[in-house]
Structure 1
């Protein structure tokens, strides 16, 4: 499915509908193949020991799946997460940004399914893996 909302438009849309996360994330790449989204790690995202916390990584997975879905169906602010499964596999590098690679596996009338791998910037192996399902509002 083709991209109908580009990275710049998506960034503006996120600022409109979720002002509480403004500046927390940015889009490094958005095309038909993959979305790469970045969590700008700051003090508020760190756990004791200086690594990015699980809740911060979950937020990246959830927002990235939303962006991947919206980029294909257009601005549908009321799409919601209906399922998320996340595996935390290794500790992120201390203080490093986290990058999410998102692939849209399926998009239908009512649901989208997104696969996500999270990487600590500078590390080759993923730190977490998530699968998310989004409910798409009727009548899009």
Structure 2
């Protein structure tokens, strides 16, 4: 199947289709059945106490899987999350971006399943681990 986008092409697609998240995420790398995505942590991602909020961590996991799926199937804005399980394992480091390493475990005609490991930049210990399933709409 092979990659359907370059990093720049996929970044441009996301900016066009989802301008509401513009500037929040950076695609660091794409590969066969994998993606590395950065959450550019800003004030809007913090909860009281100054740590990154759970919803922001979830969003990073979700976007990382979406990017990995699109990189493989091409331009399909309507691929959607059908299941997510996330383990929050430790508090993110203060004031640094989060990095998600995503790998697709299965990519079928109608479903994609993947795992995401999220770390604070520069830290080895994971902040969260997520498993997600995406529904891929039928070709028109």
Structure 1 runs (4+) deviating above 6 angstroms are: none
CA distance in 2, matches of 1:70, 1:98: 21
Distance in 2 of aligned mates of 1:95 and 1:48: 13
Aligned counterparts of 1:98 and 1:71: Cα–Cα separation in 2: 21
TM-score, with length taken from structure 1:
0.96
1:67 partnered with 2:67: yes
Please list, as runs of the form range in 1=range in 2, the aligned pairs for 1:2-81 lying within 5 A after superposition: 2-32=2-32, 34-81=34-81
Q: Is the 8 A contact 2:89 2:128 kept in 1?
A: yes
- Structure 2 equivalent of residue 100 of structure 1: 100
- Aligned residue pairs: how many? 140
Q: Distance in 1 between matches of 2:7 and 2:120?
A: 22
**Could you list the runs of 5+ residues in structure 2 that have no partner in the other structure?**
none
What is the CA distance between 1:34 and its match in structure 2? 2.9
